[in-house]
Amino acid sequence: MNDKAKQVGFEAVRLENALQVVRPKLGGDIPIALFRLVRLVVMEDLFGHAADAQAYLAGKQLGASLGIKDLDQFLALCEELKIGMVQVRTDGPGHLHVDVHECVTCSGLTPVGRPLCAFEGGLIAGVVESIEGVRVRAREVTCIGGLGDATCGFELTIVK
Ligand SMILES: [Zn+2]
């Protein structure tokens, strides 16, 4: 926080506060275009190559703060928020693979030659960390809109 922010009594917007939505006529849903404008266009304008790292950290912080207790709760949340249709499989001890179909961030884009869904990767890592109590890293190995794949696929490995 800079000095000017302190002087005017800067108060961070917390998740609980941000989720208080009162829009009697418009309701709680927005078009995906608005989310993608902020997540892809604005973040890359502001942060360039660092946008992915910022998005990953933001997703991870959010994932860890949701208080999710098990995988079913996480899958229900993904469905409720329409992040995508999520499938999880175990690739041997300590390795999880998560596939996201119809990803909110990228599904339908003309591929740009790199994975785009760092926010989702961070979110998944943060949730798995809070469920399992271990440090986890998620790496996006396939991406619908970024690379032209069928799903956005994330490999999760335990960080020692
Ligand atoms: Zn993707």
Q: Quick check: 23 pLDDT over 90?
A: yes
Residues 6+ apart with CB under 8 A from 157: 94, 95, 136, 137, 139
Distance (Å) from CA 121 to ligand 1 centroid: 9
Distance (Å) from CA 142 to ligand 1 centroid: 7
- Number of domains composing the chain: 1
Over residues 29-86, the pLDDT tens digits come to 999 999 999 999 999 999 999 999 999 999 999 999 999 999 899 999 888 889 999 9
Range of the domain at 129: 29-158
Q: Rounded to whole angstroms, how far apart are CA atoms 44 and 105?
A: 13
Report yes or no on 23 lying in a domain: no
Distance (Å) from CA 107 to ligand 1 centroid: 7
Give the CATH number, domain containing residue 116. 3.30.1380.20
Q: What share of the chain is helix, strand, coil (3-state, %, to 5)?
A: 45, 15, 40
Backbone angles phi, psi at 112, to 5 degrees: -110, 0
Give the residue ranges of DSSP H helices in the chain: 3-7, 15-18, 32-36, 43-47, 51-65, 71-81, 118-132, 144-147
Q: Quick check: 4 pLDDT over 70?
A: no
Residue type at 87 in one-letter notation: Q
pLDDT of residue 95: 86
pLDDT of residue 5: 52
Q: Quick check: 3 pLDDT over 80?
A: no
pLDDT of residue 2: 52
Distance (Å) from CA 104 to ligand 1 centroid: 9
Mean pLDDT of the 117-124 span: 96
Distance (Å) from CA 19 to ligand 1 centroid: 25
How many CA atoms are closer than 13 Å to the CA of 91, on its beta-carbon side? Answer: 13
Report yes or no on 2 lying in a domain: no
